[in-house]
Structure 1
Amino acid sequence: MDWMAWTLPTAIFFGVIAALLITFTVLAIKFPETPRVGILRIETTRGDRLFITLLGSAFLNLAWLGIVGANQPYALILCLIYAAAVFRWV
């Protein structure tokens, strides 16, 4: 795997994404859900909300990096708050 220049943070990032996808797949099989309508007024499932969370978190991190430039752990806290809001109200 040297050709990919993996670093520990990169490996952890992709490992967490893989674990989330596996977890959500198992949840969908064991506990099927019906789509619900949230604040966006569109029907979303758990997988849709996960995608919205990941996409929004990417933009939040890029904005944080562009505006603040450092202290990315604080951006992670912001992303966790954003994720909780998406899964609660979207």
Structure 2
Amino acid sequence: MDWMAWTWPTAAFFIIIVTTLVIFSVLAVKFPETPRKGVLGMETTRGDRLFITLLGSAFINLAWLGVVSVNQPYALAVCIAYALVVFRWV
């Protein structure tokens, strides 16, 4: 891990992202999905909702860091709630 001066939390983050992408790829092959229309009025698939969740979570964390700058674990709770909303209604 010294080749990029990564910390363990950074490495864990990317490992989780890669694991999530692998799981979603396996799910897409094993259980094909037809797009569904949510409250935004656009058709989305599992992968689309994952992308929306990851992008939104990045903005939530950046905003949390800029406004609050402490208690980052609470931002994780907000991101999890956001992910549940996206996967349920978007």
TM-score, with structure 2 as normaliser: 0.98
- Ranges in structure 2 where 5+ consecutive residues have no aligned partner: none
CA displacement 1:15-70 (0-9 Å, x = unmatched): 00000000000000000000000011001000000000000000000000011001
**Same amino acid, percent of matched pairs:** 72
CA distance in structure 2 between the aligned counterparts of 1:36 and 1:89, rounded to whole angstroms: 10
Q: Which runs of 4+ in 1 moved over 6 A?
A: none
Name the amino acid aligned to 1:7: T
Task: Using the TM superposition, give the Cα deviation of residue 2 of structure 1 relative to its aligned residue in structure 2, in angstroms.
Answer: 1.9
- Ranges in structure 1 where 5+ consecutive residues have no aligned partner: none
SS in 1 for 2:3: helix
Q: Which residue of 2 aligns with 1:76?
A: 76
Q: 1:1-90 residue pairs with structure 2 within 5 A?
A: 1-90=1-90
SS in 1 for 2:49: helix
